[in-house]
Amino acid sequence: MQASNSLEREKYRRDAKEILQKQLQYVQDAYPFSGLGDVFLDELRDKLREPPADGQEPTEDRLKVRVVTDLIGQAEEVISRGLQNFPGDEYLLTLQASLSNILQNEPRAMQALETAFKTNPRSDVVATRLAYHYLRSDKRQEAEDTLKKCLEQNPGSKRVHLELARIFLDSDAKTYKDTISYHLKRSFTEGDTNYHAQILYGRHEFLYGDKREAERIFRNLSNQTFAPQFRNRRWGEVRNAAGTLVEYGGQVNKRDDSFCFVSIAALGTSVFVHFSQFSGAEWDSLMLNTSIRCNIDFTVRGPCGVNAKIVR
C-alpha cells in the first residue's frame, strides 16, 4: 500500500509540474512559482525520509545525494525567480524559510549539499545555499570560502557576487566598502529583474561611494513599472554598528502639499520625506528652513526620510 501511495504521489507531482511549468510561460501572478516551489519541497521532504541504500552511509548513496541536491537546486531556483518577479510575495518568502529550515534540521540535506559542492564547485545554486546554511550556523569564514571558491570556477555568477556582498555588508559596510561595491556591481545586469541587487548597490553607493552613480541607479529603477506596494516598500534603513537606527539632522528646503525635501549636511544632499512620516500637528506647522531630525531608509526611488520630527 505504501508503494502504491508513493507511485500516486509521484504521478500527481509530475502532472502538477507539467501544468505549472506551462503557466510560467505566461506568468501574471506568483502562483506558478509558489506552486512549483511547494511541489519541489514536498518531494524533497519525501526523499529525505527514505532510508539510504542497504549497507551505505547517507553520504555514500550517490544517487540519493544527486536527487536531493537537484531538488534543493530546483526549489531554490524557482523561489528565487518568483521573488525577482514578485518581490515580497508572502507565500514565496514562506517557502524560502521552509527550505532553510529543512537544511537546518535535516543533516542529510546538508551532507548532500557539501558532497555536491565538492563534486561541482561551479554550481552557484549549491554554493549559495551551502553558504547560507554556514552563516546560520555561525560559520562565516566557511560561507565566504565557499562563495569565493565558486567564483573561481564561475566568475560571472550574479547570485554568488550578491551573496558575497551581503556577507561583507553584514560584517562592516564601511570597512569593506570597495569590496562590497565590486561584488554588488556584478550582481546584476542593468535592465534585468534583479531589483533587490540594484537597490542594494544604489544604497551602498549613496552611503559609502559615488552618489552620482547611486542617483543614476535609482533613476533607472524609478522608470520601471512596479506594483504600488513594491514601489513604496522600504529596503534598507541605516543603522550603526550596534544596530541602532542612525538619526540625521537637516533643514527643510522645499515643502509641498504631501511631501518635503530636507537638506542633510552629513549626507551632502537632500532627501525626500513624505508627510506621513511626521505627526499631523508637526506637518501642519512645517515651514521652509525648519530643523528636523529623521532616520534614513531606501525605496526604488532612492533615499527617504522616515520617523521625522521637528527639532524644538
In a domain, 302, yes or no: yes
The strand pairing partners of 209, in sequence order, are: none
Q: What is the pLDDT of residues 271-298, one digit of tens each?
A: 999 999 999 899 999 999 999 999 999 9
Local structure of 194: helix, strand or coil: coil
* Non-local CB neighbours of 108 within 8 Å, separated by 6+ positions: 48, 58, 68
Q: What is the CATH number of the domain that holds 296?
A: 2.40.50.140
In a domain, 125, yes or no: no
Host domain of residue 305: 248-310
Q: How much is the pTM?
A: 0.78
Q: Rounded CA gap, 253 and 268, in Å?
A: 13
Phi, psi at residue 262, to the nearest 5°?
-120, 125
Note whether 57 and 34 are same-domain residues: yes
Among residues 183, 207, 233, the one where a domain terminates is 233
pLDDT grade, residue 39 (50/70/90)?
A: very high
CB atoms under 10 Å from CB of 81, counted, come to 18
CB atoms under 10 Å from CB of 291, counted, come to 12
Q: What is the 3-state secondary structure (H, E, C) of 53-119?
A: CCCCCHHHCHHHHHHHHHHHHHHHHHHHHHHHHCCCCHHHHHHHHHHHHHHHHCHHHHHHHHHHHHH
Q: What is the overall mean pLDDT for the chain?
A: 88
Handedness of CA 99, 101, 104, 105 (dihedral sign): negative
Q: Rounded CA gap, 278 and 308, in Å?
A: 5
In a domain, 210, yes or no: yes
What per-residue confidence (pLDDT) applies to 2?
43
Note whether 252 and 209 are same-domain residues: no
pLDDT grade, residue 3 (50/70/90)?
A: very low
Q: Rounded CA gap, 180 and 174, in Å?
A: 9
Query: Which set of grid coordinates corresponds to residue 223?
Result: 522608470
In a domain, 16, yes or no: yes
Q: What is the pLDDT of residues 55-113, one digit of tens each?
A: 555 555 666 777 888 888 888 888 888 887 787 788 888 988 888 888 777 777 788 88
The owner of cell 551505505 is 56
Q: What is the pLDDT of residues 188-222, one digit of tens each?
A: 998 888 888 999 999 999 999 999 999 999 999 99
